[in-house]
Amino acid sequence: MTSAPVTPAHPPARGDVAPGSTSSLRGANQRRVLAVLQAAAGAEALSQAALARETGLAPATVSNIVRDLAAAELVETTVGAGRRGTTVRIARSAGLVAGIDIGHRHARVVVGDLTGEVLAHDRRPLGAAHPSEEGLDLVAAMLEGLVADLGRETDPGPLRSIGFGLPAPIARTSDGREVVMESAILPGWVGLDARQAAQERFATPVHVENDANLGALAEHTRGAGVGHGTMAFVKVSSGIGSGLIIGGEPFRGSLGTAGEIGHLTLDEQGPMCRCGSRGCLEAYASVGSIETLLAERLPEATFDEVVAAAADGNVVAARVFEDAGLHLGWGLAMLANLVNPSAIVVGGDLARAGDLVLDWVRVGLRRHALASVAQDTVVCASTLGDRASAIGALALAVRTVELIPAGGIG
């Protein structure tokens, strides 16, 4: 399993180095060169001339930076002939990053290099009401096994950063905690400082994020949302959540709850939602609501079997997808009217139904959104499938990894 390039963020300089000093400038330039090399993942190595063009730095400066980074074993060079000359790429031994996605009934772990290329992955079932300690124990064992397997083939370097996705709002508090807020999907994690707990378990920097936000990051950088500066990723599985990309960057809101569209009220007298309210979008369009509606007609069917039944002409199954799609389109119309994304990418389990549900989502969007908004908003299925949140967690790890100290290397 491979992935497309990640565009790394440029982490702020840290430490006591004075801004504008020679060492501060050296560190900033080194980070700039590394960022270009990381963004070139999957492509051939870049020449030093290409690095100079991409970074805007003088060729002599690039040459010195490459020499220092090579000495630190962060890049490797190949001496060539002709116009390309020496080429440069991120060293395989420069280190690893990991992405962890914990869902309602599963845990997925991916391990990649510093360009974001996936090197190993694992997925295992997890109890729906598991306590946080059990979830952390499982993903820690999975990660340890993947890293050990990679180490048997070659020396991949240290594990430098972990992105950690959870299906719940994550609140950043003023004292630096990252607390899991109220979640009917992960009750065993509510109130936990997830970042601290994970960092203590892994002894590695951890960056925690809502799983839908990570799905949005993944689809924006390498999936169906590539080229859309303003887009939404909507994950429809046991619950419904969305992640927003605005101006090319993830948007979380003041408390980290931006995009929680699953609890938009469609009908105050509607069915009870597990959040305690009535008539929430989640009560009409989640996979759980679909399974509940079909419990009598198709009592033993899995979700994929329900999809197959609808595709084979089962009228009841087809109408349930129609109803779910219309309601989801109604909710997405509210989102589209407010945010005006150029694309809405539908992921999670529901996306496996394809156009059986998406055709009706588009109808619901047209009914309830402004005409111009409905006409110009692309609605499509995720291209990353159930890997989206894990791939987004890996992308977050790449964006946040700190390889260069404030004063630079050398």
> What is d(CA 270, CA 166) in angstroms, rounded to the nearest whole number?
28
Alpha helices, DSSP H only, in 166-286? 194-202, 211-222, 282-285
CATH class of 96-214+390-400: alpha beta
- CATH level 2 (architecture), domain 22-93: Orthogonal Bundle (1.10)
User: Is residue 11 over pLDDT 50?
Assistant: no
Q: Which residues pair with 234 in a beta bridge?
A: 242, 346
Mean pLDDT of the chain: 90
Q: What pLDDT, in 10s, does the model give residues 344-378?
A: 999 999 999 999 999 999 999 999 999 999 999 99
Reference 282, options 355, 345, 331, 322; nearest CA is 331
Q: What pLDDT, in 10s, does the model give residues 207-264?
A: 999 999 999 999 999 999 999 999 999 999 988 999 999 999 999 988 778 998 999 9
226-383 homologous superfamily: ATPase, nucleotide binding domain (3.30.420.40)
User: Is residue 202 over pLDDT 70?
Assistant: yes
The tokens 């497309």 sit on which residue? 4
Q: What's the token pair of residue 275?
A: 């959040």
> Please, are residues 164 and 207 in contact by the beta-carbon 8 Å criterion?
yes
Q: For the chain, which residues make up each domain, given as ranges?
A: 22-93, 96-214+390-400, 226-383
> Please, are residues 30 and 65 in contact by the beta-carbon 8 Å criterion?
yes
> What's residue 84's pLDDT?
58
> What is d(CA 250, CA 229) in angstroms, rounded to the nearest whole number?
10
| Identical fold between 22-93 and 96-214+390-400 | no
> What's residue 18's pLDDT?
54
Q: What pLDDT, in 10s, does the model give residues 98-116?
A: 999 998 889 999 999 998 9
The tokens 């009706």 sit on which residue? 360
How many angstroms separate the Cα of 36 from the Cα of each of 25, 95, 302, 339, 367? 17, 17, 45, 31, 44
The tokens 């845990």 sit on which residue? 107
